Structure 1
Amino acid sequence: MSYALGIDVGGTFTDAVASDGAGRIVSAKTPTTPPHREIGVMRAIEDLAGELGIGVGELLSRTDYIAHGTTASINALVQGAVADVGLIATKGHRDSIYIMNAEGRTLGRSAHEIQDTLRQRKPAPLIPKHRALEVTERIDHAGEVLVPLDEDEVRGVAQSLVDQGVEAIAVCLLWSFKNGAHEQRVRELIHEIAPDMYVTLSSEVSPRIREFARTSTTIMNAQVGPRLRQYLTPLQKQLEEGGLKGPLLVMQSEGGTITADRAPEHAITTVGSVLSGGVIGGMRMAEQLGHRNVITTDVGGTTFLAGLIVDGEPVMAPGSIVNQFPINAATIRVHTIGSGGGALASVDAGGNLRLGPQSAEAVPGPACYGNGGTRPTNTDANLVLGILSERGLLGGRKPLRMDLAREAIREHVAEPLGLTVEEAAIAIHEVQNAQAGDLLRQAVVQAGYDPRDFVAYAFGGAGPAHCAGYCQDLGVGEVVVPLGPVASAFSAYGLAASDIVLSAELSDPSSFPVDHTVLESHYARLDADLQRALDRQKVKFHDVTLQREIDLRYSMQVNELATAIPDTDFTERTGEEILQRFEEQYERINGPGAGYREAGVQAITYRVRAKAGLGFPVALPDIARADGPDPAEAFLEERSVCLDSQTGFVPTPVYDYARLRAGHEIAGPAIVDVPTTVVVVPAGVTGRVDRLGNLVLSHQ
């Protein structure tokens, strides 16, 4: 019997899932172990082996593949723990990264922050100017060489950067996305001087128009690539020495994996890898449950994440922003705030209660963990409210200290606000729900969708404790809490259930529609590029599907909309069909009548995404069915719980999830204890156990 493993390394916990492909799935949760996160990974694999009743060596030797989501890239960028990078640019154009296309003060900022012009600031530059050097060359907008590359100058510039001690070099030449020959030659010349130097080319990492975004993407790829390689290489070696025969795969932002030996070359695509796993898991579960439109919500130890699945597919974005710098890498659109179970509660100078974005993380963790943390978190509040038991998490392996939780809340929240500890705790709980609800409105309503058309999936260690609250205000009628064998390791399940996903793109700005022969030429080139990339993965695929899209915009507008290409042969009518899709999408987002074709439409970037299935079944199994709806056999205890500031503490039944069966129904208020989380069923809500072991919450 063989296995597929998914491992999700979060800021607080490392989650893992193993599937045997025959209906058995087990999960594990262990504390993350920064800075040596590979230790937590190996401990999680040890726990999986224990759940399966086999040795670690046997598990690894029988594993077809491990799909791994890592925070290594995003953490490196956010915290500034990146490689020293040099930049080689076309003469006269190195300052694009410092000018920032006049948008550096506003990128990634909220509407409120943008309006506060006096406090707008550019971020610190990605690299100092003495490491940004220029070379003589020029390629025009059509890809024709106007000025040959000065190779002697390149050798001198490369030697200067090597002498400065850089660990990586980013190469971003003007119009290289139309013709990458000069960039490729620059890499060859660098390797003549420094054969082991990590070199990133913009024509390979970000072949899109817009010099600033292309340069920032290339530099950030060079910044995180060496660090990602330093993390993955020893991890892969340790796994192989332990018996792993299959590949180690790394999750990418766009919702699919890439082999670990190729991931450092495209490190920037892994920035959102941990964010994508839950959305992919939601997509797989939705296929089993027959849900077409899903809001995925993941409340982990550090963050709250929200993604959308529409018509069975994740909603995508062409890029993202980190530290006010754009990243040109396709990504599942995931909205996030620092409001997880470990979010720190505080009172600001104005006397307002704040929750997050700072987090207690894995070390020291919430005060109630007893690991030295003294500041209160959302987890501490839930313990004081009776939502969590002092028996703690991880099946009792992580007992919680009520005295430490109360003292932290008293000192940092209750006394500054003139509240009792209990009043402060319910305030923290309700702020968490309100912040989550606001993020969901942004993710759903502002994207042009009606929340009533969606089912919500709630997972993560803290998600099930809050989902009924933050979904009720949004108007979502049904919330599915994935439990069963995956429980709070749902993102790890999504990793195990993912495909290999690669993309290729090219920019060719022009008026649209274009002749169908242009479409044929562009997509034939992209298809060929993807086939070569798939061949380099050295993985046996079950099947391969291609998804084509094009970024369109009205003339004189700045932002484009990614528009799907009909899955048929190109004809003279294809351009008009694409235009109709673009305008329907534009008006859905901006309102009926917002489209204005008379202004003209422009095509900017053409893109193809390949999904290559690994052929390993990871469907969730059905569980045993109950004789009737009464869950009395699962009753555990009754404890005093506060779920609402108006109601206060009331005796609340607590049920043991391990004893629940499909068909059981629980009327709120109630608590369902799961080894790795708790589910809150508020008054007026009914929880029903479905055939997969999920708890489905709906209003009575």
Structure 2
Amino acid sequence: MVSLKAPWRVGVDVGGTFTDMVIADADGRLHVFKVPSVPEDPARGVMNAVGKAAQDLGVDQRIFLENCAFFAHGSTVATNTLLERKGAKVGLVTTEGFRDSLEIRRGIRANPWDHRTPYPEVLVPRYLRRPVAGRLDTHGRELAPVDLDQAREIGARFRAEGVEAVAICLLNAFANPEHERLVADAVAGSWGGDWIALSSAIVPIIGEYERTSTTVVNAYVAPRVVGYLQALERELIDGGLPHRLFMLQSNGGAVSVRQIAERPVNLILSGPAAGVGSMRHFARAAGHDNLISMEIGGTSCDVMLMAEGRIAITDELSVADYDLMIPSVDIHTVGAGGGTIAGVDAAGMLFAGPRGAGARPGPACYGFGGTEPTVTDANLVLGRLKPGAYAGGSVTLDRELASEAVRSRVADPLGLSETEAAAGILRLVEQNLLQAVERISIQRGQNPARFMLVACGGAGPMHGAAVARRLGCRAVYVPRQAGAFCALGMLHSDVRQDFMDVHFQDLDTLADAPVEDRFAALERDASEMLTREGFDPADTATEREVDLRYDGQQWDLRIPIAAGAGAGDIRGAFEREYDRRFGHTVPGGRILITALRVVGKGLMPPLDEAAMPAATDGVRAIDHREAYVDDRHGAMRCAVYHGADLRPGHTLQGPLLIEEATTTIFAGPRDRVEVDPAGNYLIHLDREGDA
């Protein structure tokens, strides 16, 4: 039985297969708990993790919650509501003449050669998209008053149609929200519902389609997401939690349920974005601020890049081809996880993903009724995983079931041996992983060979060395708690909120306009928000950013600036970033400011992990087994180590496997594995050993 010193922090991440909980006590000791997710009721997964932690600690569940100083949660509930089309029935109010802009979109396709694939079904059918008369110009000046009688008629129609949430997006509302507020009051009076989203409050940006799409998604997910979070918060508080529940947002920062209830669309990347906290933590531990994280869970792989200590934030997000403009960590996700399903298509070609087996039935080897082979099954067939208890005993791996799935669905149809079929699955998946990392690095103007790859998630350390070798990286960093990467990140996440003001101005006239006054107003908004969240001014910070573009261009670059920065400093920062991203600049070109931004942060006290005692002697392998290495070496006799036996100072030579509580680490021939002072694993790669 484990013991912890109160108070402790708790982070819970609900994934597609497992719900992870990480606890850090007052002495910095970490403990990880895993339970199967409950897709039909994610809150059950959270409460099951709470119950397991309390049981393993040997304390009453109420006492466990009463001693939580901070409880953070990351969930895919908003994303899944959108992906599964299980959101609310939404009515949309638009400016007269713009009823169909949501469905017309931008006319830009990701694949310009694909003219036939339809866009997803619009979230608001045309009969629920209702126009209202009235018009503002681009500066927010009224050209025609809004017709409030028409707005009341729209509200009555929405009530008759059973509309559950309303989105209001009027032309040029980013410059003046007054018309939207008047329409909201009129609609509310005749409609009688609770959920009204105003584009001027959710996303006050130029770009009517993006603003409308984001506001509609916010209305679509709000009744489901906010209801879930409020019910979970009540259950936790009734159970003894002495403070509010905090949620991780798409921007990588935490926020209270009370705050996120106004903009639940900001939870779309809630779980994966928590990796920001882990990346910053491991950058300090590894002494390296150029990192690429490859977090592979049960259903997907999330890739994130930290360059010189900064993780990029983007406003352009597409989920299932629905366009959103919300501050989000720049994450690229592919369908490649431990539960990724492989098979042979109608053309006789091997495929792997994007479909996954989920928590139930899961991989064939789980014994829950799954018959299709997955990446986990392939690793078990190849000897990289061992049969028996897995993920803290929550499931049991059955090699016979894995072998049957690989043989019947891949090996026999392709005329291959089981080993060849399983190796082919891994080779294809690792190629997908390689391309995912290249997407977030090379396509952003970064050379991945300059970075250290952080292999995390339950399945990441199994494939990290192979992917990093092909990228040209020299080393792979594997956190000891790799399988709970995002939950751990929640413990290191600051409270954060982003504020923006649309502002068009020539950069060279910076000194001639009251930009400083507008920044100061945004900083006051940030300070007020942080005060409401319970932070003392001494524990807060604000950061300034500007959106810039060359005159005549459509897209912006977000550039961080110091307070009081002059036009010359800002131009230099923009041109350096532009040159890195696109390989050129426009010397002396006219640069436009398009928006001012302030990031408000409530700084959490640093969480220092307890020091792990250094090794005093060598360590012996607990086993040796035949495991497939790669095409060049085939199967080799690999040493197997128990992670709990390894201490800072230990150095091991591959090929080897390290069995940790939340993951299994694989290193190839001539790779060298060190346990660093923080107790994590550093794999020095033998780059000549690539197959």
Please indicate the TM-score interval, normalised by the length of the shorter structure: over 0.9
User: Is 1:64–1:247's contact at 8 Å kept on the other side of the alignment?
Assistant: no
Q: Out of 643, 647, 661, which is 2:629 matched to?
A: 643
Q: Structure 2 length as normaliser, TM-score?
A: 0.96
**1:196-211 mapped onto 2 (5 Å cutoff):** 196-211=193-208
**1:292-691 mapped onto 2 (5 Å cutoff):** 292-483=289-480, 486-516=481-511, 517-538=513-534, 543-565=539-561, 567-569=562-564, 574-591=566-583, 594-615=584-605, 617-628=606-617, 630-632=618-620, 635-691=621-677
Query: Which is further off, 599-608 or 328-337?
Result: 599-608
Q: What corresponds to 1:20 in structure 2?
A: 25
User: Is 2:153–2:190's contact at 8 Å kept on the other side of the alignment?
Assistant: no
Determine the C-alpha separation between the residues in 1 that align with 2:149 and 2:197: 20
Shift of 1:653: 1.3
Q: What corresponds to 1:45 in structure 2?
A: 50
- CA deviations 1:534-589 (Å, max 9, x no partner) are 34434667611111111111122222111112x2325xxx1222111111100011
Q: What corresponds to 2:65 in structure 1?
A: 60
Q: 1:497 to 1:605 in 2, by over 3 A?
A: same
Q: Out of 79, 103, 113, which is 1:98 matched to?
A: 103
User: Is 1:279–1:296's contact at 8 Å kept on the other side of the alignment?
Assistant: no
User: Is 2:614–2:647's contact at 8 Å kept on the other side of the alignment?
Assistant: yes
Shift of 1:598: 5.0
User: Is 1:257–1:501's contact at 8 Å kept on the other side of the alignment?
Assistant: yes
Query: Which is further off, 379-388 or 186-195?
Result: 186-195
Q: 1:244 to 1:542 in 2, by over 3 A?
A: farther
User: Is 1:283–1:314's contact at 8 Å kept on the other side of the alignment?
Assistant: no
Counterpart secondary structure, 1:297: strand
- CA deviations 1:49-83 (Å, max 9, x no partner) are 23434222111001122110000011111111111
Letter in 2 for 1:86: G
Q: What corresponds to 1:8 in structure 2?
A: 13
**1:285-296 mapped onto 2 (5 Å cutoff):** 285-296=282-293
Counterpart secondary structure, 2:83: helix
Shift of 1:520: 1.0
Q: What corresponds to 2:274 in structure 1?
A: 277
Letter in 1 for 2:106: N
Counterpart secondary structure, 2:98: coil
Counterpart secondary structure, 2:362: coil
Determine the C-alpha separation between the residues in 2 that align with 1:673 and 1:498: 28
Determine the C-alpha separation between the residues in 1 that align with 2:151 and 2:446: 51
Shift of 1:264: 2.5
User: Is 2:252–2:275's contact at 8 Å kept on the other side of the alignment?
Assistant: no
Name the structure, 1 or 2, with higher relative contact order (CA <8 Å, separation 6+): 1
Aligned length: 680
Counterpart secondary structure, 1:119: coil
Q: 1:102 to 1:400 in 2, by over 3 A?
A: same
Query: Which is further off, 351-360 or 280-289?
Result: 280-289
Q: Structure 1 length as normaliser, TM-score?
A: 0.94
Shift of 1:426: 0.9
Runs of 5+ unmatched residues, structure 2 = 1-5, 687-691
Determine the C-alpha separation between the residues in 1 that align with 2:523 and 2:308: 25
User: Is 1:255–1:280's contact at 8 Å kept on the other side of the alignment?
Assistant: yes
Letter in 2 for 1:184: R
- CA deviations 1:297-355 (Å, max 9, x no partner) are 10000101110112222121122112223211011101110000000001122322111
Shift of 1:143: 1.3
Cα RMSD of the aligned pairs, angstroms, is 1.6
Report % sequence identity. 34
Determine the C-alpha separation between the residues in 2 that align with 1:689 and 1:254: 32
Q: 1:121 to 1:597 in 2, by over 3 A?
A: farther
Letter in 2 for 1:600: R
Letter in 2 for 1:129: R
Counterpart secondary structure, 1:262: helix
Counterpart secondary structure, 1:8: strand
Determine the C-alpha separation between the residues in 1 that align with 2:276 and 2:365: 30
Shift of 1:521: 2.6
Q: 1:250 to 1:89 in 2, by over 3 A?
A: same
- CA deviations 1:444-470 (Å, max 9, x no partner) are 111111223211211101001110011
User: Is 1:393–1:677's contact at 8 Å kept on the other side of the alignment?
Assistant: no
Counterpart secondary structure, 2:173: coil
Determine the C-alpha separation between the residues in 2 that align with 1:323 and 1:402: 35
Determine the C-alpha separation between the residues in 2 that align with 1:383 and 1:664: 27
Determine the C-alpha separation between the residues in 2 that align with 1:333 and 1:122: 23
Shift of 1:397: 4.0
Letter in 1 for 2:209: F
Determine the C-alpha separation between the residues in 2 that align with 1:47 and 1:358: 30
Letter in 2 for 1:585: E
Shift of 1:292: 1.3
User: Is 1:279–1:308's contact at 8 Å kept on the other side of the alignment?
Assistant: no
Determine the C-alpha separation between the residues in 1 that align with 2:300 and 2:106: 31
User: Is 2:535–2:602's contact at 8 Å kept on the other side of the alignment?
Assistant: no
User: Is 1:668–1:684's contact at 8 Å kept on the other side of the alignment?
Assistant: yes
Shift of 1:533: 2.7
User: Is 1:226–1:264's contact at 8 Å kept on the other side of the alignment?
Assistant: no
Counterpart secondary structure, 2:274: helix
Q: 1:123 to 1:644 in 2, by over 3 A?
A: same
Shift of 1:207: 0.5
Letter in 2 for 1:121: P
User: Is 1:26–1:51's contact at 8 Å kept on the other side of the alignment?
Assistant: no
Q: 1:676 to 1:320 in 2, by over 3 A?
A: same
Determine whether 1:697 maps to 2:683.
yes
Counterpart secondary structure, 1:638: strand
Determine the C-alpha separation between the residues in 2 that align with 1:508 and 1:276: 28
User: Is 2:35–2:394's contact at 8 Å kept on the other side of the alignment?
Assistant: no
Runs of 5+ unmatched residues, structure 1 = none
**1:162-173 mapped onto 2 (5 Å cutoff):** 162-173=159-170
